[in-house]
Structure formats: C-alpha cells, structure tokens
C-alpha cells in the first residue's frame, strides 16, 4: 500500500520550499523504497528550486542521501530490506555501448524508478536527480542503492551520493592522481575540498589549493592542501608554476565551472599534464584558447561526471577507508539540520562558511 510521508517540495520557480505530505508507492519491479536517515543540501537542489535545471515543477528535492532499504519490488536481488545504503543518481544499465565496453561509469542510459511519487492530490513530483531524499522515505530504482558498511554514520555516508564523490573521483578516477604527483585544485568548496582529500588519499606529493576566499583556503589546509593561493592576491598560474619547480602541476582540477578558472587550470599544468573539469558551467559560457596551445601543451583535457564513479566499486571502498581513519568525511559536515530548515540552508550557502548542511531524519 502506498504510504504518506513528509518531504521538501519546491512548488514553483523561485518560490520558497515547503514541507508537504507526499505519497510513496510500493516498489514495483526493479524498484526500492528507502527510509532516509540523512541527506546533504547540494547546490543542485537550489538550482532545481530556481528553475535552472528543468521546469517540471513541483520537485521533491534532496539527493545526497543514505538510509535503510524498507522494501523492494520483484526481481530485485542486489539489495534487500534492512540493508544500509547510499543512494546514487547514476544507476548503470549494463547494456548501453559504454557499459558493454566495460566502462560503466560512462553509462549513457542510467535509470530511475518508473513509478512517480505524488502530492496527496495526485500531482506528480519530479524527484531531484531521480532521488528526492529530503523525505522520510523515497522511491528509487534498486540500482540507485549501494550497500555499504552500516557502522558509518548516515550523515557522513550520504555525502558520497553527490558532491564529495564528484570531488574525490575527479582526483582518483578522472585525474588518475598517483603517488608523488603535484596537484592543484581551483575552487575549494565541498567539491574542491573533496578533490584535495582524494589527491591526499592517492599520495600526491604537493597539493596546491586555489580560491578567492581565505576562509576556504584555511579549510583546504585541514583537508590536505600543502600550499594555498588566494587568486585575488596572487596570479594562480605563476604561483603554481613557482611551487612546482617552474613546470606546473601534473594534474589541475577545476572545481568552479567558469571559463576564466578553466584557463587558469589549462595554463597551470605541466606539459603533458591533465586538466580535470568537475565544476559545472552554465549554458551561455564560452571558452577561447589558442588552438596551438591545446596542441603544443599535449596531455589530457578531461571532464569528470560524478567523479567518473562506479557506486558499487567506490562507495563501499571509500566508506571502509573512512572507517579506518584514512579519509575524514566528517570534516565536510558543517551542520546538521531538520527537514524544515532546507530553505535556511540555501540562504547559508551564499555566506561561504558552509561546506555541507545535512538534513538528519
Ligand atoms: N577562483 C577561485 N575560486 C573561486 C572563484 C574563482 N574565480 N570563484 C569562486 N570560487 C570558489 C568559491 O570561493 C568557493 O570556495 O569556488 C568555490 C565553489 O564552491 P561551492 O560554491 O561551495 O560549490 P561546490 O559545491 O564545491 O561545487 C563546485 O562543482 O559540482 C560542481 O555544480 C558544482 O559547479 C559547482 C562546482
Ligand atoms: Zn549503460
Ligand atoms: Zn548534488
């Protein structure tokens, strides 16, 4: 039988979010209902509310979540009721050309639940990134649930569902950072700091953090940055070169998503180095670079989708490293809040001293 629970809904463009009663259907074939324990507040939720992602209002927000599987539909074998899971927004299909070539992290046909959650009047909800986890329970495709060690706290585990995984994966998966590498990270919000933590985990010898806000740079040091550059005060390209023997960094990770910071990343890397774009640009942005420099500097210019992660491979591994004390995920949780505080958390995002507000249920 369908259940009624509380959830945070964005009713229309730029309207404040509201806690509403939502109807969660029983899981159909291939689906699961998950009892949410914690869900981080991400910029993407704010973008949904602002109408920047699509106009399919009302949205059920929230997508960086962990919880316990309550029930599963027919044919679900990978997870069972009672499993502690982290939700992901790229459930790979196993059948598209990327999956068949053995590169499922590029899956071109990721899927979500087929049934829709609704308001009590029957209005269909669009769950943010196919998840909708600012809610006591949510309906997802079973492939969106990845079982992890239940010894971890839900507020920490849920972070891997989006921004923190994107950053760590930008370093370890897309950038292939290895022991002894020099790495620069431009933009030290939640994603950039996670890239710093990922580079640290991979054994980078030097990790140079670049931001325009000194508070972010202080935090970046605690995440593993060995050097910091305030790019309002010093030229970041010059400084990164000076710090790397005049060469530039082996891997530069752009975690802002703007043409000017991308250019800094492009010129701050060593010859044949790698640039990873994990910051998400907006549609009107354009990049202009001398094509000869693109050719002449060699190397790789990559973008990182969700940290090129494979949830089934990366979530349990990162949770285990965290539980062993080798990856500080708690450092990303600035505050824990209630379901009713999401609007306030959106306001706090602009203040610059929050990495993640996490709704705890
Ligand atoms: N140069 C350097 N740093 C900058 C600049 C700039 N020109 N402009 C902004 N920043 C810094 C901000 O000071 C902030 O510390 O970039 C950081 C951005 O952090 P957040 O706003 O917290 O965003 P975050 O969640 O980290 O996401 C960063 O990755 O996944 C994408 O959509 C996401 O595009 C966004 C990016
Ligand atoms: Zn696929
Ligand atoms: Zn997100």
Q: How many whole angstroms separate alpha carbon 356 and alpha carbon 345?
A: 9
* Res 89 pLDDT > 90: yes
Q: What is the pLDDT of residues 294-318, one digit of tens each?
A: 999 999 999 999 999 999 999 999 9
> For the chain, how many residues are written?
361
Helix (H) or strand (E) holding 243: helix 236-243
Give the contacts of 291 (CB within 8 A, at least 6 positions apart): none
Question: Which ligand 1 atom lies nearest to the CA of residue 47?
Answer: 32
* Res 351 pLDDT > 90: no
Which residue from 261, 217, 258, 253 is spatially nearest to 235, judged by alpha carbons?
261
* Res 172 pLDDT > 80: yes
Q: What is the pLDDT of residues 95-138, one digit of tens each?
A: 999 999 999 999 999 999 999 999 999 999 999 999 999 999 99
* Res 151 pLDDT > 90: yes
% the chain with pLDDT above 90? 97
For residue 192 and ligand 1, the question of a CB distance below 6 A is answered with yes
Q: How many whole angstroms separate alpha carbon 185 and alpha carbon 177?
A: 12
Give me ligand 1 centre to Cα 187, in Å: 5
209 alpha carbon, closest ligand: 1
Contact 202/346 with Cβ under 8 angstroms?
no
Give the contacts of 121 (CB within 8 A, at least 6 positions apart): none
Q: Name the residue with tokens 């325009």.
A: 212
Q: How many whole angstroms separate alpha carbon 182 and alpha carbon 277?
A: 17
For residue 27 and ligand 1, the question of a CB distance below 6 A is answered with no
What is the number of H-type helices and E-type strands within the chain? Answer: 11, 18
For 312, the 3-state DSSP assignment is helix
Can you give the pTM of this predicted structure? Answer: 0.96
What ranges do the domains of the chain cover?
Answer: 3-161+328-360, 167-305
For residue 307 and ligand 1, the question of a CB distance below 6 A is answered with no
Superfamily for 3-161+328-360? Medium-chain alcohol dehydrogenases, catalytic domain (3.90.180.10)
For residue 190 and ligand 1, the question of a CB distance below 6 A is answered with yes
CATH among 3.40.50.720, 3.40.190.10, 3.30.70.360, 3.40.50.300 for 167-305: 3.40.50.720
Q: How many whole angstroms separate alpha carbon 203 and alpha carbon 178?
A: 6
What is the reported pLDDT for 276? 98
* pLDDT tier for residue 353 given thresholds of 50, 70 and 90: confident
Give me ligand 1 centre to Cα 256, in Å: 4
For residue 195 and ligand 1, the question of a CB distance below 6 A is answered with no
For residue 279 and ligand 1, the question of a CB distance below 6 A is answered with yes
Pocket probe mutation, ligand 1, options 45, 189, 262, 334, max atoms within 8 Å of Cβ: 189
């Amino acid at each position: 039988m369908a259940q009624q629970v509380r959830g945070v809904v964005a009713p229309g463009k730029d309207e404040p979010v509201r806690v509403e009663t939502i109807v969660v259907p029983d899981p159909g074939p291939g689906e699961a209902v998950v009892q949410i324990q914690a869900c981080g507040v991400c910029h993407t939720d704010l973008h949904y509310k602002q109408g920047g992602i699509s106009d399919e209002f009302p949205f059920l927000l929230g997508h960086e979540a962990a919880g316990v599987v309550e029930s599963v539909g027919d044919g679900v074998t990978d997870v069972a009721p009672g499993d502690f899971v982290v939700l992901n927004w790229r459930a790979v299909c196993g059948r598209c050309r990327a999956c068949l070539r053995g590169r499922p992290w590029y899956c071109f046909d990721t899927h979500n639940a087929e049934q829709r959650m609704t308001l009590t009047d029957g209005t269909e909800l669009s769950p943010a990134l196919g998840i909708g986890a600012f809610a006591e329970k949510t309906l997802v495709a079973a492939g969106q649930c990845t079982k992890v060690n239940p010894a971890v706290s839900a507020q920490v585990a849920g972070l891997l569902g989006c921004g923190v995984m994107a950053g760590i994966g930008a370093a370890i998966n897309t950038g292939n950072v290895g022991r002894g590498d020099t790495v620069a990270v431009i933009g030290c919000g939640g994603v950039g700091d996670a890239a710093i933590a990922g580079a640290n985990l991979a054994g980078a010898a030097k990790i140079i953090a670049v931001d325009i806000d000194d508070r972010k740079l202080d935090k970046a040091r605690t995440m593993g940055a060995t050097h910091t550059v305030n790019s309002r005060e010093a030229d970041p390209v010059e400084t990164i070169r000076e710090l790397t023997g005049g060469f530039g960094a082996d891997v530069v990770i752009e975690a802002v998503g703007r043409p000017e910071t991308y250019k800094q990343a492009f010129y701050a890397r060593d010859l044949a180095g790698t640039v990873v774009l994990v910051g998400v640009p907006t549609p009107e942005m354009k990049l202009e670079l001398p094509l000869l420099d693109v050719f002449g500097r060699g190397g790789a210019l990559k973008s990182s989708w969700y940290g090129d992660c494979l949830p089934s491979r990366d979530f349990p591994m990162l949770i285990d490293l965290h539980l062993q004390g080798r990856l500080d995920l708690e450092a990303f949780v600035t505050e824990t809040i209630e379901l009713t505080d999401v609007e306030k958390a959106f306001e706090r995002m602009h203040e610059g001293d929050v990495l993640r507000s996490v709704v705890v249920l």
